[in-house]
Amino acid sequence: MSDKTPVLEMRKVDKSFGPIDVLHEISLKVNEGEVLCLLGDNGAGKSTLIKTMSGVHQPTRGEMLMDGKPVSFNRPREAQDMGIATVHQFGGTYPLMSVGRNFFAGNEPTKGVGPFKVFDRQKANRIAVDEVQKMGITRITDGDRLVGGLSGGERQSLAIARAVYFGARVLILDEPTAALGVKQAAHVLRIVNEAKRRGLAVIFITHQVMHAMAVGDHFAVLIRGAIAADFRKGEKTREEIADLMAGGESMADLEANIEGYMETHDGHVPEPAH
């Protein structure tokens, strides 16, 4: 795997906002058909990292490479044109618009000529329904249905299907499962696997270790703007990862404390700290 040229690579990227350094020497790479899980607690710098990758921010130092060639994005649109698609929690879907219109917002298929060019609703609906079904969402059968009536997982899946259809090569998923229930999250994870199977490079941002373990090939843990750990699937256990995210051994310490307390207090747990 290591001899392949990564689709997207960051080399020692720093990002500062004025005097505040947010990212320190971030080096990451993601290959085709691979899921890179970016783990980190709130405030670890995940959002800044995503925004740097997707062209919202520019790195202060360091370089970004696509297919081995240096790139720099001045606007999100430039990153999108290069095939970097970012899907946020609600995935840029519009609740009061139909599935077909959502899918093609900004890239509508048209028919006719000149000033009488019309939005090809049937074509849009057909493609949209086809594409989401191919991603495994069989519940969406009507392109005229309003997206607000879909579940959170389905909306997320619609957004991913859209990114895949419009030729994304790198898919950045920003906490896609954070607001979802167990079943819905499983749904989204299936879609992530499907995107990976199709050869996309997926960057999956989450703080839920279980979800990361389910799809990830490669893991990077972000703490205070720096990569604290970088390892491949199977090299670390869930507990180790959770500990890392919480900032080293503190989680284990906490657990040990609780266990010690329980041993001396007839199995009762300590009062939570206030």
Residue numbers at the binding site for other proteins (CB under 8 A)? 76-77, 80, 86, 92-97, 101, 104-108, 110, 117-119, 136, 138-139, 141-142, 144-146, 148-149
- If 0-12 CB within 10 Å is exposed, 13-18 middle and 19+ buried, where does residue 62 land? middle
The least distance separating other proteins from the CB of residue 132, rounded to whole angstroms, comes to 13
In terms of CB distance, is 179 or 258 closer to other proteins?
179
* Contact present, 31 and 65 (Cβ < 8 Å): no
Report whether 61 contacts 14 (CB < 8 A): yes
Cα 119 from Cα 93, distance rounded (Å): 19
Type and span of the H or E element at 257: helix 250-264
Asked if 203 contacts 53 with a C-beta cutoff of 8 angstroms, the reply is yes
Nearer to other proteins, 214 or 227 (CB): 214
CB of 27 to other proteins, least distance (A): 27
Distance CA(155)–CA(87), nearest Å, equals 11
Least Å from the CB of residue 252 to other proteins: 38
Of 96 and 256, nearer to other proteins (C-beta) is 96
The CB-of-238 to other proteins minimum distance in angstroms stands at 26
Closest distance to other proteins from the beta carbon of 49 (Å): 18
Other beta carbons less than 10 A from residue 241's beta carbon: 23
**Min. distance of Cβ 183 from other proteins in angstroms?**
12
Count of CA atoms in the C-beta half-sphere (13 A) of 153: 19
Q: Which is nearer to other proteins, 101 or 196 (CB)?
A: 101
Closest distance between other proteins and the C-beta of residue 68, in Å? Answer: 27
Q: Which is nearer to other proteins, 111 or 232 (CB)?
A: 111
Instruction: Yes or no: say if 228 and 246 are a contact pair by the CB < 8 Å rule.
Output: no
Structure tokens at 135: 């991603």
Question: Helix 152-165 and helix 182-197: axis angle, to 10°?
Answer: 10
Which of residues 42 and 138 has its CB atom nearest to other proteins in the complex? 138
Nearer to other proteins, 11 or 121 (CB): 121
